[in-house]
Structure 1
Amino acid sequence: MTSSGTPPDGRATRWAGQRERRRREFVEAGMRAIARFGPEVSTEQIADEAGVARTRIYKHFADTADLQRAIALRAAEMIGAQFAPLWGVSGTPREMVHATIGAHIEWLSEHRALYQYLMRQSVTGPRDVVADVKTAIARQLTVLFEYYLGLFGADQRVGETIAYGLVGLVESSTAHWLDAPRGIDRDDLRQLLARWVWSILDDTLRTVGVALNPDSPLTDLDYQVLD
């Protein structure tokens, strides 16, 4: 039997795999260099962290922007993995609010230099990963909010506005806290933001005559219909 296709070149396949592996190694070196040297890290410093000459990096990346883009994509994967376990509807409303805000504060605190690096790239680079991540979180929250607003007979259209507003509140407040904590520790910040977020959600439900118990599991709703 004859084949109309051309057999794959084993050497080309191996080279492609090796090239991808080396790209990943340089990206991880970039992550370490950002943590070590800060958000203004240079390609030279990333190369030093990888133990190679700078010209070696450009054998695997088209230019500096290509390297920056790869680092940004890796950061997006990390953030996605941090939040993925939170999207299952479990626990009480208060627990879910605290867990989501806590995960956000934890990631920004542990990766402050990387966050600042991404913010710099959002201005000068081809991809705004911070905006992408905020949008992804807001979309997840929108689905959740719209479901429960509809369940209680509220206007579901406000769910998206609330979701984007809450994400902006938490992100901007935490980013400012990183620069100027003013004696507020991480747990204090989480408690403060969680109280604000719950107040907004509670007020939204009360406008349609519903008082939701924040300490009752969402799987077994406990709420009061207000007069």
Structure 2
Amino acid sequence: MTSSGTPPDGRAARWAGQRERRRREFVEAGMRAIARYGPEASTEQIADEAGVARTRIYKHFADTADLQRAIALRAAEMIGAQFTPLWGSSHTARGMVHATIGAHIEWLSEHRELYQYLMRQSVTGPRDVVADVKTAIARQLTALFEYYLGLFSVDQNIGETIAYGLVGLVESATARWLDAPRGIERADLRDLLARWVWSIIDDTLRANGIALNPDAPLSELDFRRVGETP
């Protein structure tokens, strides 16, 4: 014990690590409860899934909103883990768009209860947890777009605007499709959204004088200035 009455750094670090571990365990219990009980899963059901009393959860979370945000951040991590391997340089631009959108549609389809839970909390809770997830995805895309825009000597400041716009387009269209597919198959939705997304990206590049070959490996940077002979 130090003269100030606080535990030594080693003990403080161990306690912080234990606290973080318990928070993760409760978040995972929340995921299981949502899968079991649906988007209406309550804090009591999450506590039951974790095998503790509800009050125990509040020893590790400030309130229900804090728990909901932690679940939203975990969902964002899961989506990011699914997307990141798709963003390698071996993909073509068009192939990367198709793969990313396909993965997003697949994730939302397989975690529909979780997504609906997040949507529900965004409406009834004190914060928009779905916006937290979309922001996390958009930030990853922003970094990706800024990297390639820099290679093309295009203003990188537009990368964030493009990223947030595309995430909003794909997320809202897919969310509506989950509720009312109207006979549209998953592959058809992917192709439709991918065509729209590529059109936006292509238009942005062309407005800055770049014509990118969408079917060439990105590692080769097969592009030309608009107006040049192919």
Same fold (TM over 0.5): yes
Give, in whole Å, the separation in 1 of the partners of 2:226 and 2:11: 72
SS at match of 2:67: helix
What is residue 205 of structure 2 aligned with on the other side? 205
Q: For residues 52 and 152 of structure 1, do their structure 2 counterparts lie closer, same or farther at Cα, with a shift above 3 Å needed?
A: closer
What is residue 77 of structure 1 aligned with on the other side? 77
Gaps of 5+ in 2: none
Give, in whole Å, the separation in 1 of the partners of 2:62 and 2:141: 37
Deviates more, 1:173-182 or 1:15-24: 15-24
Q: Which amino acid aligns with 1:68?
A: Q
What is residue 27 of structure 1 aligned with on the other side? 27
1:144-189 per-position Cα deviation (integer Å, ceiling 9, x unaligned)? 4445456556555544333222111111111111111112222221
Give, in whole Å, the separation in 2 of the partners of 1:223 and 1:174: 31
1:190-220 per-position Cα deviation (integer Å, ceiling 9, x unaligned)? 1111111112222333345543221101121
Q: Is the 8 A contact 2:211 2:223 kept in 1?
A: yes
Q: How does 1:139-178 map to 2 (within 5 A)?
A: 139-149=139-149, 156-178=156-178
SS at match of 1:102: helix
1:67-97 per-position Cα deviation (integer Å, ceiling 9, x unaligned)? 3233233223223322232344331101111
SS at match of 1:214: coil
Give, in whole Å, the separation in 1 of the partners of 2:140 and 2:19: 35
Percent of residue pairs bearing the same amino acid type: 85
Give, in whole Å, the separation in 2 of the partners of 1:135 and 1:63: 22
Is structure 2 residue 193 aligned with structure 1 residue 193? yes
Superposed displacement of residue 32, structure 1: 0.8
Give, in whole Å, the separation in 2 of the partners of 1:40 and 1:200: 37
Q: Is the 8 A contact 1:26 1:57 kept in 2?
A: yes
Q: For residues 88 and 4 of structure 1, do their structure 2 counterparts lie closer, same or farther at Cα, with a shift above 3 Å needed?
A: farther
What is residue 111 of structure 1 aligned with on the other side? 111
* Count of matched residue pairs: 225
Larger Rg: 1
Deviates more, 1:21-30 or 1:179-188: 21-30
Q: For residues 27 and 214 of structure 1, do their structure 2 counterparts lie closer, same or farther at Cα, with a shift above 3 Å needed?
A: same
Q: Is the 8 A contact 1:39 1:116 kept in 2?
A: yes
- TM-score, normalising length: structure 1: 0.79
1:106-147 per-position Cα deviation (integer Å, ceiling 9, x unaligned)? 221111111122223234435434323323433443444445
Q: How does 1:36-185 map to 2 (within 5 A)?
A: 36-149=36-149, 156-185=156-185
Give, in whole Å, the separation in 2 of the partners of 1:27 and 1:130: 16
- TM-score, normalising length: structure 2: 0.78
Deviates more, 1:189-198 or 1:202-211: 202-211
